[in-house]
Amino acid sequence: MTAESSGERMSRKGVLSYVIDAGLLSASVMMLTAVPAPVEGSPSPTAIVISLSSATTMVGTAVTVSSTLIGVTANAGGQVYYEYFVGASCSGWPSVISVVTVTNGVAPSSRPIVFNAAGYYSWKGVYSGDKNNMPSTSSCVLLTVRTTTQVSVLCAKTFLLVGNSTTCTAAVYHGAPPYTGTITWTKASGTGTGKFSSSTCTLSSGKCSVTFTATGKGGLLIRATYSGNTFNVGSSGTLTLSVG
């Protein structure tokens, strides 16, 4: 075995020290690179609540939708989409009527929209969110659109002798079928008198009938008043009878 000089031992000691120091440096570099970069705050949860200018409206009358954003930051941006569905359950394919820009957490209302057919229309508002605010969707809000109606009144006879009877029929039209509900029969005016077999009748296929019996001479105006239903506004019609 070769004897090792003190110079050689010092040289090897220096190499060993260098290797150890390099290893520590490498480990230190690895530890530094393993530290994750700072992460920005997570977007805030949000909610959107929408309201209609009217929950019930008439065919041909404009409606607008407004929204309130909840939980958003003071400088929140993004967009709000106002959309409606045909039917009451917010299901199917929606129609987007307005896309508005959110400024400092406030969303403008939608443009006015007019419906030309009676029925249920359900609405939602969708907030897009931004880098600081999570997106959200409103609950389903229902709009009922109604329409006007007309009532025709026909009697088998319009001239009656006292004690005679005739069948009178009221029919609802010019609205949104099916016409459900009732007709109420009354005397509107006149000197003649009579009585109805029933003060009300229930519509079937949009019409119903009662019997009118004359009891006193003179002319009279009878009225049939329609109650209306969910999509149809009530109305009335009249007919003149003569009792001799």
Question: Long-range contact list for 110-113, CB < 8 A, 24+ apart?
Answer: 110/64, 110/65, 110/66, 110/82, 111/64, 112/62, 112/63, 112/64, 113/62, 113/63, 113/64, 113/84
Q: State the pLDDT at residue 40.
A: 57
pLDDT score of 34 more than 50: no
- Listed in sequence order, the residues at least 6 apart from 236 whose beta carbon sits closer than 8 Å to its beta carbon are 151, 223, 224, 225, 226
Of the given ranges (34-43, 118-127, 169-178, 189-198), which has the lowest mean pLDDT? Answer: 34-43
Would the pTM count as exceeding 0.95? no
DSSP symbol at 240? E
Q: State the pLDDT at residue 29.
A: 31
- What distance in Å separates the CA atoms of residue 111 and residue 99, rounded to the nearest whole number? 9
Domain 47-146 in CATH 2.60.40.1930? The answer is yes
Domains 47-146 and 150-243 are alike in CATH topology: yes
* String of DSSP letters for 193-208: EEEES-SEEE-BTTEE
pLDDT score of 11 more than 90: no
pLDDT digits (tens, 9 = 90+) for 79-97: 999 999 999 999 999 999 9
Taking residues 153-177, report their average pLDDT. Answer: 98
Question: Which pLDDT band, with edges at 50, 70 and 90, does 211 fall under?
Answer: very high
pLDDT score of 14 more than 90: no
- What distance in Å separates the CA atoms of residue 191 and residue 241, rounded to the nearest whole number? 11
Domain ranges of the chain: 47-146, 150-243
pLDDT score of 77 more than 70: yes
pLDDT score of 194 more than 70: yes
pLDDT score of 18 more than 80: no
pLDDT score of 2 more than 70: no
Under CATH, what is the fold of the domain 150-243?
Immunoglobulin-like (2.60.40)
- What distance in Å separates the CA atoms of residue 185 and residue 168, rounded to the nearest whole number? 10
Of the given ranges (15-29, 146-160, 188-202), which has the lowest mean pLDDT? Answer: 15-29
Alpha-carbon distances of 4 from 14, 117, 144, rounded to whole Å: 15, 107, 103
Of the given ranges (27-31, 185-189, 215-219), which has the lowest mean pLDDT? Answer: 27-31
| pLDDT above 90: percentage of residues in the chain | 83
> Which residue has 């459900």 as its token pair?
180
Taking residues 59-85, report their average pLDDT. Answer: 98
